[in-house]
Amino acid sequence: MENPTPEQVAQALAELVQDALMRGESVEIPGLGTFYVNHRGSTTERLPDGRVVLHPPCDLPAFTPEAS
C-alpha cells in the first residue's frame, strides 16, 4: 500500500492517538497540534439545597492547536 487514502490515514491516526492517550502519552501531530490527557481529580460540589455531589476523578482527552 504505497498511497493510502485520506480515510485510511484518518483511521490510522485516530487509532494511534487513542493508543498513545490510553498509555498516558501525548501525541504531537505536525501542522495540527498536540493531543494529551487532562486528568481531573475527584471533586465535591455543594448544591444550594444542601446536598453534596461527589464527582469521581476522570481522564479527559484534550488538544492544543499548534501555534501558527
Partner 1 sequence: MPEALINRLAERLGCSPEAAATALRQFVEQLHQQLEQEGQANVAGLGRFIRTEQGLQFEPDTSLAQAVNHRFAGLEPVTVEPPATQPYRKTEVVPPEEEPAEKASPFYEVTGEQEAEPVSPEAVAQEPEPAAEEHHPEPAPEPEPVVDTPQPAPQPDEPPLRPPRPPRIRVEEDRRRGLPVWIPAALLIVVFGVVAVWLLFFSQPSPREAVPPAPVRAETEQSPAPETTVTATATPAVTDTVSAATEAPPAETSAPVPPPTDNYALIVGSVTSQRAAEQLAARFRRTLSEHGLPVTIVTVTSNGITRYRVAVGRYSSPEEALAAKRQLGEVLPPDAWVLRLPSTMQ
Q: Residues interacting with partner 1, by CB under 8 A?
A: 1-4, 6, 8-18, 21-22, 27-33, 35, 37, 47, 50-63, 65
Task: Evaluate the CA torsion angle 37, 40, 59, 6 in order and state its sign.
Answer: negative
CA distance 1 to 13: 16
**Minimum separation from the CB atom of position 8 to partner 1 (A):** 6
**Minimum separation from the CB atom of position 46 to partner 1 (A):** 9
Give the gyration radius of the chain's Cα atoms: 18
**Minimum separation from the CB atom of position 61 to partner 1 (A):** 4
